[in-house]
Structure 1
């Protein structure tokens, strides 16, 4: 936990890989996991960066999916307004099942 806190502190000032390196050095100096970090420095650095990259990748994937969903719904609403189906828009805003039905109707699912 202390190691992670130190990494986060340094991450505010520098790129993540550098923050991990600096945190490892600081922990060794302060006797926090010192023996473990001396023996496993490269592994700790590699695993920390891999997990960070994976977490960032997952966050980006979620954001892209969210944006795609928003665009899909906006396209549906545009189409419905274009066809004069404003009542369907009102209902779709509040009813997820109905919205899914409409997406299917227009082959947007």
Structure 2
């Protein structure tokens, strides 16, 4: 995200989804977002910044313990965050969460 869009996003306190749209419009890379189903974008917009971070780390193949070390938190907290993410995205099980995160990894890196 550019400094200008960062400032705009911060000033307006935009949701992650709105921030993504602002970024996409600025870099004219709307093709990436256009390929993502609207329900997925809406579901991603419900995630907190920390949940998006955890989802991104899951997509990178990190284990719960590795995520906890990376975020300076406990594995128990990461497990709770994984459960919250799964619930918000309507996913069941660790494998479906991993598949989802890897499928939409490019979008996650922009949030």
**TM-score after normalising by structure 2:** 0.29
* Larger Rg computed on CA atoms: 1
**TM-score of the pair, normalised by structure 1:** 0.29
Structure holding more helix per residue: 1
